[in-house]
Amino acid sequence: MTRASRERSAASTGERLGVRKTYKLYIGGAFPRSESGRSYEVSTVDGRFLANAAQASRKDVRDAVVAARKAQPGWAKATAYNRGQVLYRVAEMLEGRRDQFVAELGDSGSADPESEVDGAIDRWVWYAGWADKVTAVLGAVNPVAGPYFDFSLPEPTGVVGVIAPQRSALLGLVSVVAPVIATGNTCVVVASTDRPLPAITLAEVLATSDLSGGVVNLLTGSAAELAPWLATHADVNALDLAGVEPEAAVDLERAAAQTVKRVLPAPAAEPDWTADPGTGRLSRFLELKTVWHPMGL
């Protein structure tokens, strides 16, 4: 039964029709419609209609990259302690909308939606704690043969394109986005194609938290259509292929090589996002800068 026929059936029986939402993109702290004007239906695993989601285009990718680039210097200059506070605030607000996320994950086919929401909240807190510690862990004072101090200091890569996990619509998404922004980068994220609603609701949380507009930009639509534009965009500094199938990742890696991007390769299989995340993703989108300083001056 199509959506129109369901609505006619409900109207004929006198049932109240629910207000079905048409979700928008999240770019630069605002919620614009897709430049293409396209949208697509989002349904439950058993085929029940949930909402319409915007289907982003190449132009939307370009707009999101512009917003991310504009926001990156200010976000990188914020103190690491402040970035940790902002991430913790996101966790607080996600906790306040826990029931909504549980319902959306249940509709999306999550095996254990409550555990996934709790895991996502805890993951924000975990990365919030790392924000002001990663420099101490990854930085170093290097021994040199001369009267100099030699320091290695991590700096953010810049703008990171993220293809979010396609199955883990919330915990997997948080696990790839949080480390990117905790270290001072900004990002353009392509959400799960078939399970976009938890990501869009997360964007609403981000918009009403302390996170500056443009730090996270979220696009919905076809990951296969949008990923190549991120891979070839000259103003994107790095690419995370977490949600890309290995066979499709080869072409994206080749495209990214044209602009010498850092690339976090696609996993061979869907990772266990509930496992200890470690510091791997924190370090993948940092550059080490070496500074020399004369002693005694």
Query: Is residue 229 a part of any domain in this protein?
Result: yes
**Number of domains within the chain:** 1
Q: What angle do CA 28, 34, 38 make, to 5 degrees?
A: 165
Query: Is residue 24 a part of any domain in this protein?
Result: no
What pLDDT is attached to residue 22?
87
| Residues of the chain below pLDDT 50 | 1
Report DSSP letters for 215-266, one per residue.
SEEEE-S-HHHHHHHHHH-TT--EEE-TTS-HHHHHHHHHHHHTTT-EEEPP
What pLDDT is attached to residue 147?
87
What pLDDT is attached to residue 219?
98
Query: Is residue 28 a part of any domain in this protein?
Result: no
What pLDDT is attached to residue 258?
95
Query: Is residue 235 a part of any domain in this protein?
Result: yes
CATH number of the CATH domain containing 141: 3.40.605.10
Domain around 74: 57-294
